Amino acid sequence: MTKIYPNASSSDEGKISGDDPVVLTVWKKSLLLNCEGFTVFDPHGNLVYRVDNYMAATKGHIILMDASGATLLTIRRKRLSLGDTWLIFDGETVEDPRFTVRKNVSLLNSRCLAHVFQKKSLPLYQIEGSYSRRCCAVYDEKRRRVAEIRQKEAAVTGVAFGKDVFRLEVQPGFDTEVAMGMVILLDQMYASGRFI
């Protein structure tokens, strides 16, 4: 049986260091029964992040946790807003959001999926591509790619993981927690089987 998490010896996955991109394997599956969410592994197969959502209890409220269950980010849908807008908070606080993420509704830029704002400024990041094909990237205000979602390729020829297992590559200097928060929001905005 093929492993979902990366092989530590695989040169394709890279290694975690200050100068190299961090490559995470994201599995759209909760480790808990009767929950929906995500399980995220580092290149050595260690659990680093998880999202476990109980259907009735978390409407519009998602928590990104570390491996031990400590809250890293709280993600909430913005009430009474035009369009699909979400707020990302540090930890368990729900005051003074770190980021606001707004789904793109403009037909002029069809490649753009969402804009990420900090306070009331111009967009700090833009997410482009196709989440349904697991082929999209996060760009900063200087058009540098800071994170990318790609389909996961199996080490064994002929084995496919499907859309529920994919790679999240995060460039040095960009927060992996924030990158994972953006994955969660893309899933809320663009996945057919939303878990809220």
- pLDDT band of residue 9 (cuts 50, 70, 90) is very low
Q: Is the pLDDT of residue 65 over 50?
A: yes
Cβ neighbors of 65 (< 8 A, separation 6 or more) are 49, 50, 51, 52, 71, 72
pTM: 0.82
Q: Is the pLDDT of residue 16 over 60?
A: no
Q: Is the pLDDT of residue 167 over 70?
A: yes
pLDDT of residue 5: 52
Q: What is the mean pLDDT of residues 43-70?
A: 83
Average pLDDT, the chain: 83
pLDDT of residue 152: 86
Q: Are 47 and 67 in contact (CB under 8 A)?
A: yes
At 170-196, the pLDDT tens digits run 999 999 999 999 999 999 998 754 443
- pLDDT band of residue 14 (cuts 50, 70, 90) is very low
The structural domains of the chain, ordered by start, are 22-190 (2.40.160.200)
Instruction: Compute the distance between CA of residue 151 and CA of residue 12 in angstroms, rounded to an integer.
Output: 13
Q: Which residue would you say has higher pLDDT here, 143 or 2?
A: 143
Closest CA to 64 of 43, 47, 81, 85: 47
